Structure 1
Amino acid sequence: MADSRNLHGKIELRRSITTSAFTMIALVAVIGLFSLFSIWSIDRAWTRGTSETAELQDLSRAALDSQVNFKVQIQEWKNILLRGDEGALLEKHFASFRNHAQLTRDGLAKVSSRALRLKLTTYAEQADSLSLDHAALTARYEAALAEERGTSRTITPEMASLIDKTVRGADRALEAGIGKLSQDIAAIADERRAALFVSMQDRYASLRWFIVGIIGLSLAITAYVLASTLRATRG
């Protein structure tokens, strides 16, 4: 009878140890698989998020470059009025004026296409609108110059004064608009970068507490197995 009880106790002990071992293996497997998936998911989200914010920053810089080129274009316009009484200088600054006008148009076109790719339709439309305003303003400058200059190779200070009165201050709204576009896109980049950091912290916290919980459960199972083993050996 005693032998039967001992045999039964040993069987129960083995069953308890085997079940606990399988449970521990399963928990370790769950920890490993979940941790690997979480790390992959966090890395993927981080890579995608940083790539997106980098693209937004590049987009903001492209708009800023357009603003810089427009400022240089306006500076060359002023040089035309200041130095236009010399034919060579007039042609030099007028060529630079046109070159920077083209660079400004190209920059705004780049902003528009990139904004569309990033699904920022509003900013693409703003870039297109600014580009149209820029083309109209450039044409206005050239028309004012051509009207006063006529067939002359130079412009006199009197001509320059009349031309300046015609278009004075016409560039301010456009320059401000391009600058605001750059600032607005930069603000979105900052917002998304901040949101990315918060998201990564939340994911990390979830992973940490999950692993802590599994470790706690594993320790509880280990304590239960040890207690069962001690009871069985005492019996």
Structure 2
Amino acid sequence: MADNQRIHGKIELRRAIATSAFTMIALVAVIGLFSLFSIWSINRAWTTGTLEAAELQNLSRAALDSQVNFKVQIQEWKNVLLRGDQSSLLEKHLTSFRSSAQKTDEGLVRVSAGAAKLGFKDEAQRALVLSNEHGVLTARYEAALAEERGMSKTITPDMASLIDKSVRGVDRVLESGIGKLSADIAMISDERRNTLLIQMQDRYVKLRLFILCVIGLSLVITAYVLASALRATRS
């Protein structure tokens, strides 16, 4: 009878150890798989978010570059009027004026396309509107120059004065609009980055809490199984 009890106790102990081992393996597997998935998910979200924020910063810089190129364009326009009494200088500054105008427009088009690709429709539309306004304004400059210049190879001071009066101050609203677009896109980028940091911290806290809970649960289950086995061996 005593031998049977010892045999039964050993069987119960082995069963308890096997159950405990299986439970621990299962819980470790759950922790491992969930942790791997969580790490992959966090890494993917972080990579996607940082790339988006970086691209927004690039678009902000592109808009800022457009603003700078527009300022250069306006400065070259002033040079056209100030130095247009010499044909060589007139053509030099007029060429630079047109080159800066092209760079300004290319930058705005890039911002519009990039913002649309990232899903920022409002900013894409604003950049497109600014590009159209810039085209109209540049054409206005060219028309004012052509109207007064005619077939002349130079511009007299009187011509320059009349041209200046016809377009004076028309660049201010556009320049301000391009600058504001750059600042707004930069602000969106900063907001997205801050939101991403908060989300990553929240995910980390949740993952850590889950792992600690599973570890605690596994220890409780193991202790319960071993306690049951010990009771069985004593009976």
Deviation at 1:36, TM superposition (A): 0.9
C-alpha distance in 2 between matches for 1:212 and 1:220: 12
Give the Å deviation of 1:57: 1.1
Instruction: Measure the CA separation in 1 of the matches of 2:124 and 2:207.
Output: 39
- Separation in structure 2 between the aligned mates of residue 5 and residue 234 of structure 1, nearest angstrom: 9
Deviation, structure 1 residue 219: 2.3
The alignment of Structure 1 onto Structure 2 pairs a total of residues equal to: 235
TM-score under structure 2 length normalisation: 0.94
Aligned to 1:37: 37
* Structural mapping, 1:65-104, within 5 Å: 65-104=65-104
Alpha carbons 1:10, 1:232 under 8 Å: kept: no
Q: Which amino acid aligns with 2:186?
A: A
Name whichever of 157-166 and 169-178 sits farther off: 157-166
- After superposition, what is the alpha-carbon deviation per residue over 1:64-115, rounded to whole angstroms, capped at 9, x for unaligned? 1111111110010011111112111111000000111111111111112112
Identity %: 72
Q: What is residue 188 of structure 1 aligned with on the other side? A: 188
Q: CA deviation at 1:227?
A: 3.5
Give a deviation string over 1:117-172, Cα, whole Å, max 9, x none.
Answer: 11222222211211111111111111111122222221122221221111110000
Paired residue type of 1:108: L
Higher RCO (C-alpha under 8 Å, 6+ residues apart): 2
The one-letter amino acid of 1:126's match is R
Deviation at 1:226, TM superposition (A): 4.5
> Aligned partner of 2:155: which letter?
I
Residue aligned with 1:154, SS: coil
Gaps of 5+ in 1: none
| Aligned 8 A contact 2:53 2:192 in 1 | yes
1:233 offset after TM fit, Å?
5.6
